[in-house]
């Protein structure tokens, strides 16, 4: 579903994050899950920050999903998520529990995780 001409957002993506940049050494991945902590937004937060926090008041979603639901470029979603985690309004959790085990297998999931994927997929067959 594409936006019509009159529905085009007026706030360009590069302004969505306000004036701040993302902290150096980003730990946010497209599959980092985020949820709201209940800490109120600050006056310098933009309407995009507000929409992200409101979306995550009911549960957690990944950055990819946040971008999809709010119509944001993924890169903007990552920057906004970084800022809100740093400022305390969001809490993030990494896609896998142990990053070291991912790094050990050429940045792919561990064999144990893939075995779990395999049995889970087989269980879905009808």
Partner 1 sequence: MDSEHSWSSPQAGHAGTLSPSAGTGPTGQRPVYLPEGAHRRVKILVAGHLGVGKTTAIRTLSEIPTLHTEEVMTDAAAATDDLSLVGLRNKTTTTVAIDFGRLTLPGDKIVLYLYGTPGQRRFLPLWKGIALGALGALVLVDTRRLDASFEVMDLIEERGLPYAVAVNVFPDSPDYSLEILRAKLDLAPDTPLVQCDARQTNSSLNALIELTAHSIARAGEKTS
* Residues contributing to the site for partner 1 (CB under 8 A): 1, 3-4, 7, 9-11, 13, 29-31, 33, 47, 50-51, 54-55, 57-62, 64-65, 67-75, 95-97, 102, 105-111, 113-118, 120-126
Least separation, in Å, of the C-beta of 64 and partner 1?
6
67 vs 83 by CB, closer to partner 1 = 67
4 vs 19 by CB, closer to partner 1 = 4
Least separation, in Å, of the C-beta of 81 and partner 1?
14
Least separation, in Å, of the C-beta of 110 and partner 1?
8
The C-alpha atoms of residue 88 and residue 41 are separated, in whole angstroms, by 9
Per the rule left: phi > 0, alpha: psi between -120 and 50, beta: everything else, 8 is beta
The distance from CA 115 to its chain's CA centroid, rounded to whole angstroms, is: 26
The C-alpha atoms of residue 47 and residue 1 are separated, in whole angstroms, by 23
Burial 32-62 (b: 16+ CB within 10 A, else e): bbbbbbeeebeeebbebbebbbebbeeeebb
Least separation, in Å, of the C-beta of 85 and partner 1?
17
């Amino acid at each position: 579903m594409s936006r019509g001409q009159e529905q085009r957002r007026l706030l360009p993506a590069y302004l969505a994050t306000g004036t701040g940049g993302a902290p150096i050494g980003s730990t946010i991945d497209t599959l980092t899950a985020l949820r709201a902590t209940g800490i109120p937004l600050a006056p310098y937060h933009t309407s995009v920050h507000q929409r992200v926090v409101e979306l995550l008041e009911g549960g957690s979603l990944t950055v990819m999903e946040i971008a999809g639901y709010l119509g944001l470029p993924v890169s903007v979603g990552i920057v906004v998520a970084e800022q809100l985690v740093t400022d305390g309004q969001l809490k993030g959790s990494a896609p896998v529990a142990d990053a070291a085990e991912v790094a050990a297998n050429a940045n792919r999931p561990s064999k144990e995780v893939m075995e779990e994927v395999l049995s889970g997929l087989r269980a879905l067959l009808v």
